[in-house]
Amino acid sequence: MSRNDELKARAEAVIPGGMYGHMSTYRMLPEGYPQYFERADGCRLWDVDGNEYIDFMCSYGPMIAGYANPRVRAAADAQRNQIDIANAPAAVIVDLAEKMMSQISHAEWAIFAKNGNDATTACNMIARGRTGKRKILVAQGAYHGSQPWAARRTKGTPDEDYVHFPTYTFNDIESVTQAVAQASGDLAGIVVSAFRHDAGFHQELTDPDFARAVRALCDKEDAALILDDVRAGMRLSLDASWSEFGVQPDLSAWGKAIANGEPIAAVLGSDPWREAASKTFMTGSFWYQAAPMAASLETLAILNEENAPARLEALGQRFRDGIYEQAQRHGHSVLQSGPSAMPTLMFEDDKDSRLGFAFCQAALKEGVYLHPWHNMFLSLAHSEADIDQALEGTDRAFGTL
Ligand SMILES: Cc1ncc(COP(=O)(O)O)c(C=O)c1O
C-alpha cells in the first residue's frame, strides 16, 4: 500500500469525509491525485510517496515567489525569533500598512487578518457600518470564502442567511442595475472580483465598461465598491486589479499571495470608510502575528523588484502557447480562458469532464500538477525551463487521450 493510501485510510476514521474543503482530493480532483505532500521547493512538490511534480496550483494561489523562498523565509524567521504574537502587535504592522498604502492607489488605511474570508467579511461590515444599510450585492457563482454569505453552497445554513446578499451577473450591468433597484435604498455595497474566476467555468475577463458602470452605481447609491482581490491580488497588477480600467474600489480584500504562504490577509480602504472601520469590532487571536507581516514586506519587495505581473503573464503565455500547439497537433479543442498568469484549461464539449480529467491524470503521471476545472497559478519560481519540461509532459499526456 502506498503511504498516500495508508494516510487516506487512517484519515477516513478521524477527518470527516477523509478530507475537507478545497484540499479534499475526494471532492475536487480525479482519481490518482496525491492527498498528501511532504516537501515543497520552488515550483516543485513531492508527495508522500516521493513522486515529484512541477506545480501549477501554487497552493491555490499563495505561493507567488515559490515554495520555501529563502528571502521570505529568512524575513519571517528573523521576526519570529524576535517576537511573533504578544499582548499587542509588533512595529512591523505599521511598516506593512505604510508599504501597502504606498503601493495600492486607493488605500489610505489597512487592517490585517488571517484568511481571505476574514477580509471580505470585514469589508461588508465596514460598508454596512458607514452606510447604515444592509444589502450587499454578490455575483452569482462567485466565491469569496467559505462562510455562508461568501460561498452560498454550504450545508448548515438557513436560507434567511442570504436575505441581505442578493445576486447579480458578473459583466452584466443590467443585472446589477436591477439588483440595485430591488435593494431600494438599502444598498451598502457591491462585491466584485478581479475577473470572473468561478471554478468549473471558462473564465471571463472584466469588461472595463462594466467596471466603470459599477463604480458609478456605487457612487450614486452611496454604497461601497468592494473589490475581492484575494485570489488575483498581486498577480495581475501590483495595484488593485481594477486600477488598469481607472476604477478604484472603496474597500479591497487581500490574502493568498501577499506573504508567499505565510498566513495573513488585509482589508484596505479609502478615507471615507476609515471611521466606520475604526468603529467595527474585528479581531482574532492570530490577526496581529508579526512573522507573516515581515514575510509580506519581503514578498512585496520581491514582487516589485521582479515586476511579478509581467513575469507571470509571460510564463503563463509560454505555457498557454505550448498547450495550444499541442492540442491542435493532437486534434483536441482546448479552451484556455482567463489571464495567462492565472490560466484555466478546459476541453470544449466536455460536459462530464471526462477528457479534462483524463488529460490531467495523464499529466500528473508525467510529473505535471494541473487542475481540470479551477484556474491555475504561475509563480516567480517557475523558469522557462520548468515550463518547457512541463510541456514535454503535457505533450505525452495529450498522446494518451
Ligand atoms: C476570490 C476569493 N475570495 C476569497 C477567498 C477566501 O480566501 P480564504 O480561503 O483565505 O479565506 C478566496 C479563496 O479561494 C478567493 O478565491
Q: Work out the pLDDT band at 381, boundaries 50, 70, 90.
A: very high
CA distance 266 to 293: 10
Atom of ligand 1 nearest to the CA of 61: 14
pLDDT on residue 329: 98
DSSP 345: E
- Residue 96: predicted pLDDT: 98
Q: What is the 3-state secondary structure (H, E, C) of 282-351?
A: CCCCCCCCHHHHHHHHHHHHHHHHCCHHHHHHHHHHHHHHHHHHHHHHHCCCEEEECCCCCCEEEECCCC
Ligand 1 centroid from CA 332, angstroms: 32
Q: Has residue 66 got a pLDDT over 90?
A: yes
Q: Which atom of ligand 1 is nearest to the CA of 142?
A: 1
Atom of ligand 1 nearest to the CA of 256: 10
230 CB less than 6 Å from ligand 1? yes
Query: Quick check: helix, strand or coil at residue 227?
Result: strand
List CB contacts of 244: < 8 A, sequence separation 6 or more: 236, 237
State if residue 231 touches ligand 1 by the CB under 6 angstroms criterion: yes
- In the chain, % helix, strand, coil (3-state, to 5) comes to 45, 15, 40
Tens of pLDDT, residue by residue over 84-110, are 999 999 999 999 999 999 999 999 999
Kindly give the distance from the C-alpha atom of residue 395 to the centroid of ligand 1, in angstroms, as a whole number: 32
**How far does residue 256's CA lie from ligand 1's centre (Å)?**
7
What mean pLDDT do residues 268-283 have?
A: 98
- Local confidence band at 28 (pLDDT 50, 70, 90 cut-offs): confident
**Ligand 1 mean position, distance from CA 117 (Å):** 6
Q: Average pLDDT, stretch 58-76?
A: 98
User: What are the tens digits of pLDDT across the range 288-304?
Assistant: 999 999 999 999 999 99
Alpha carbons within 13 A on the beta-carbon side of 129? 18
Helices (H) and strands (E) in the chain, counts: 13, 13
**C-alpha 230 to ligand 1 mean position (Å):** 6
Which amino acid residue places its CA nearest to atom 3 of ligand 1? 144
Domains, the chain, ranges and CATH?
Answer: 3-67+308-400 (3.90.1150.10), 70-305 (3.40.640.10)
Predicted confidence at residue 398, as pLDDT, reads 98
- pLDDT band of 154, cuts 50, 70, 90: confident
Instruction: State the closest ligand 1 atom to the C-alpha of 60, by its place in the atom list counted from 1.
Output: 14
* pLDDT on residue 155: 81
Atom 16, ligand 1: residue with shortest CA distance: 231
In the prediction, which pLDDT does 384 show?
98
pLDDT band per the 50, 70, 90 thresholds, residue 319? very high
Question: What is the per-residue pLDDT for 108?
Answer: 98
For ligand 1, is residue 228 a contact (CB within 6 Å)? yes
- Is 121 close to ligand 1, i.e. is its CB under 6 Å away? no
Q: What does the mean pLDDT of the chain come to?
A: 97
Is the pLDDT at 386 greater than 90, yes or no?
yes
Give the pLDDT score at 310: 98
Residue 157: what pLDDT? 86
Task: Give the pLDDT score at 352.
Answer: 86
374 lines ligand 1 (CB under 6 A): no
Q: Report pLDDT for 266.
A: 99
- Report the predicted TM-score, pTM, of the whole model to 2 decimal places: 0.97
Question: Does 152 have pLDDT greater than 80?
Answer: no
CA–CA gap between residue 51 and residue 372 (Å, rounded): 20
**What is residue 387's three-state secondary structure?**
helix
Question: Does the pLDDT value for residue 351 go beyond 90?
Answer: no
- Whether 139 lines ligand 1, by a CB cut-off of 6 Å, is no
Cell numbers representing residue 340 in the block: 495567462
Give pLDDT, residue 331: 97
User: What number is the average pLDDT over the span 211-239?
Assistant: 98
Percent of all residues in the chain with a pLDDT value above 90, rounded to a whole number: 94
User: Taking 80 as the threshold, does the pLDDT of residue 153 lie above it?
Assistant: no
Contacts of residue 87, defined as CB under 8 A and 6 or more positions apart, other chains included, come to: none
What is the reported pLDDT for 9? 97
Atom 13 (ligand 1): residue with closest C-alpha?
A: 145
- How much is the average pLDDT of 155-164? 88
CA distance 238 to 308: 8
Contact, 46 vs 52, CB < 8 A?
Answer: yes
